[in-house]
Amino acid sequence: MITTMFARTIHRRFSFHHSSISLSNSLRGNNSHSPTNLLPREMSMETERIVDRLKSSGLLQTKGLIGGKWTDAYDGKTIEVNNPASGDVIASVACMGERETKDAISSAYDAFSHWSKLTANDRSSRLRNWYNLLLQHKEELGQLITLEQGKPLKEAIGEVGYGASFIEFFAEEAKRIYGDIIPSTLSDRRLFVLKQPVGVVAAITPWNFPLAMIARKVGPALACGCTVVIKPSELTPLTALAAAELALQSGIPPGVLNVVMGDAIKIGTALTESPQVRKITFTGSTAVGKKLMAGAADTVKKVSLELGGNAPCIVFDDADLEVAIKGSLATKFRNSGQTCVCANRILVQEGIYEKFTKAFSDAVQNLKVGNGLSEGVSQGPLINEAAVKKVESFVEDAVSKGAKLLLGGKRHSLGMSFYEPTVIGDVKNEMLIAQQEVFGPVAPVLRFKTEEEAIQIANDTNAGLAAYIFTNSIKRSWRVSEALEYGIVGVNEGLVSTEVAPFGGFKQSGLGREGSKYGMDDYLEIKYICMGNMG
Ligand code: ADP
């Protein structure tokens, strides 16, 4: 999702209390054993009010979950979780490493024999309980997402509904793991195919969808009978921990779902090296995904990767302008541009270019920037200072090479990690901003002449996750959809993700699919049974 150059580690967490990048603040030792290790003195009133409510509802967990027990880091270390909109320290959570991860793997391994042998109905009903609980706590989970991730509350509550829908869908799919009977080549033999869970799954997730990225992985894993060790992003662990608390309440047995967070490299290494972990499922940057894939080679694990995109959004002369503006706006500016399916290049045909850029810029100008908890805000802050610096450098590179700023182009007057919604025209595909994911509220617009040229530009990248086209021609819709080297194509639509459809990429955007009936395959082994002497 974020390129190598800007891939962060927890050692580089921006500290809002000093206007510089702090190398040490986030990994400080903390031997305090206060129940939650919260630091209320550093919070604004608003954050404090929400945190208090979450605490009293039991949803603000700050320890890891190993074998059904909330567990501190063995050396007592903690890591701060910040609100990117205000800099408030929301909580300090356990900063774990290799030893805790090994124990979490053992718990998942031990729990597998029981969980995998439950009937599909039994697993299904516990998943459905979890789904119900997630929805019952939609508001609180939404607030937690906004607090630690920054997205507007409405979007955050939408993410809870979206995430929960995967748990519901896979609760249903649990009952449909069918095998096959193959017509035999010999009359005294019977040939069967069974589908069985792969075993312990490691799920490593990013910060941009703190709940949904977990639900998309854990839903099918548990439905198939696998057990999991989740490693959420250190930037947004609180939502993962709250979801885990609800999983416990829903009757998912101890050890089936474990959560560790802290030192990403140590945890990642322990997960990849363990022969007990049979599958890694990861959403995040292409650079880290490649490392995990290489790490998984030694123990020949199954690997699912949902990596970075570089989505083209192609607006043809024959598009309905209003539909194209609405769709492009939605796909570009959702989550302030911080999704891997966000339009990264808006390709506009020359006949409609002027009209489109004018109307699009007008629409972007109306987007309200602010704290995600405030009414009417549609653009929250970026996740941290490093993300803003990346956006700044991409914009600077484009402008220095001849692109034209049509709107915005600098940090927002609100300060912190807020960036102005920005439109840049006359972008060329060679510019950094068109080559890599900008992951921010910046819309680069490129001009093209012919359909062939648009397809060529669109496919001229190593990524292949999502693409969008806007046209009123049915023939062109098919032609271009088929020619695009992408796993997902939106035609006259900018928001395409749903639990019932397969999500995943071509080329270096990843391996495997999440959601839909295809999302089960990644968590299943196929076993062929040949029975002889049956004549
Ligand atoms: P992004 O830039 O979108 O955060 P990352 O790939 O850096 O993407 O992070 C995605 C997830 O991968 C996070 O949970 C992060 O902590 C984790 N991660 C980062 N580096 C490693 C690593 N070397 N091994 C395992 N997990 C890692």
Q: What is the pLDDT of residues 395-414, one digit of tens each?
A: 999 999 999 999 999 999 99
Q: Which one is predicted more confidently, 376 or 9?
A: 376
pLDDT digits (tens, 9 = 90+) for 247-305: 999 999 999 999 999 999 999 999 999 999 999 999 999 999 999 999 999 999 999 99
Beta strands in 266-334 (DSSP E): 277-283, 302-306, 311-315
Mean pLDDT of 58-80: 98
DSSP 446: E
Q: Token pair of 522, please? A: 């990644």
- Atom of ligand 1 at shortest distance to CA of 285? 6
Helices and strands (H and E) in the chain: how many: 16, 22
Cα torsion 126, 131, 132, 138: sign: positive
Percent with pLDDT over 90 in the chain: 91
Q: Ligand 1 centre from 152 Cα, in Å? A: 24
Name the residue at shortest CA distance from atom 19 of ligand 1: 264
Cα torsion 166, 167, 169, 174: sign: positive
Mean pLDDT of 299-319: 98
d(CA 46, CA 500): 37
- Residue 89 is inside which H or E element, if any? strand 89-94
Mean pLDDT of 484-488: 98
* Residue 122 three-state SS: helix
Mean pLDDT of 503-507: 98
Q: What is the pLDDT of residue 46?
A: 82
Name the residue at shortest CA distance from atom 25 of ligand 1: 268
Q: What is the pLDDT of residue 535?
A: 87
d(CA 21, CA 386): 9
d(CA 249, CA 159): 21
Q: How confident is the model at residue 32 (pLDDT cuts 50, 70, 90)?
A: very low
Q: Ligand 1 centre from 340 Cα, in Å? A: 14
Spatial CB neighbours of 452, under 8 Å, sequence gap ≥ 6: none
Q: Ligand 1 centre from 375 Cα, in Å? A: 32
Mean pLDDT of 339-347: 98
> Whole-number mean pLDDT of the chain?
92
Out of 1, 93, 241, 288, mutate this one to test ligand 1's pocket (max ligand atoms within 8 Å of CB): namely 288
Is residue 74 over pLDDT 50?
Answer: yes
Out of 81, 230, 233, 235, mutate this one to test ligand 1's pocket (max ligand atoms within 8 Å of CB): namely 233
Length of the chain: 535
Q: Is 269 left (phi over 0), alpha (psi -120 to 50) or beta?
A: alpha
Mean pLDDT of 60-72: 98
Is residue 10 over pLDDT 60?
Answer: no
Mean pLDDT of 7-26: 32
Told to judge if 155 belongs to the known catalytic residues of this protein, a careful annotator would answer: no
- How far from 523 is each of 218, 219, 264, 465, CA to CA, in Å? 10, 10, 23, 21
Model pTM score = 0.92
Q: Ligand 1 centre from 288 Cα, in Å? A: 6
Say if residues 251 and 126 touch (Cβ distance below 8 Å).
yes
Identify which of 28, 150, 49 has the alpha carbon closest to the alpha carbon of residue 94: 28
Q: Ligand 1 centre from 52 Cα, in Å? A: 30
Is residue 18 over pLDDT 60?
Answer: no
- Lowest mean pLDDT across 21-35, 181-195, 357-371, 390-404: 21-35
pLDDT digits (tens, 9 = 90+) for 440-457: 999 999 999 999 999 999
- Atom of ligand 1 at shortest distance to CA of 271? 25
Out of 148, 285, 292, mutate this one to test ligand 1's pocket (max ligand atoms within 8 Å of CB): namely 285
- Amino acid letter, 508: Q
Name the residue at shortest CA distance from atom 15 of ligand 1: 233
Cα torsion 101, 103, 104, 110: sign: positive
- Atom of ligand 1 at shortest distance to CA of 6? 2
Q: Ligand 1 centre from 46 Cα, in Å? A: 30
Q: Is 159 left (phi over 0), alpha (psi -120 to 50) or beta?
A: alpha
Secondary structure, 3-state, 363-375: HHHCCCECCCCCC
Q: What is the pLDDT of residue 4?
A: 35
**Alpha-carbon dihedral 444, 448, 451, 452, rounded to 10 degrees:** -100
Q: Ligand 1 centre from 283 Cα, in Å? A: 8
Percent with pLDDT over 70 in the chain: 92
The ligand 1 site (C-beta within 6 Å) comprises 1-2, 7-8, 204-207, 231, 233-234, 264-265, 268, 284-285, 288, 291
- Binning the chain into helix, strand and coil, the percentages to the nearest 5 are 40, 20, 40
- Atom of ligand 1 at shortest distance to CA of 283? 10
Q: What is the pLDDT of residue 42?
A: 53
Q: Exactly one of 306, 385, 420, 437 is catalytic; which is it?
A: 306
Spatial CB neighbours of 474, under 8 Å, sequence gap ≥ 6: none
Q: Exactly one of 340, 385, 437, 514 is catalytic; which is it?
A: 340
Mean pLDDT of 378-384: 98
Told to judge if 313 belongs to the known catalytic residues of this protein, a careful annotator would answer: no
Q: How confident is the model at residue 21 (pLDDT cuts 50, 70, 90)?
A: very low
Residue the block writes with tokens 């598009």: 319
d(CA 303, CA 340): 19
pLDDT digits (tens, 9 = 90+) for 160-180: 999 999 999 999 999 999 999
191 DSSP β-pair partners: 182, 530
Q: How confident is the model at residue 40 (pLDDT cuts 50, 70, 90)?
A: very low
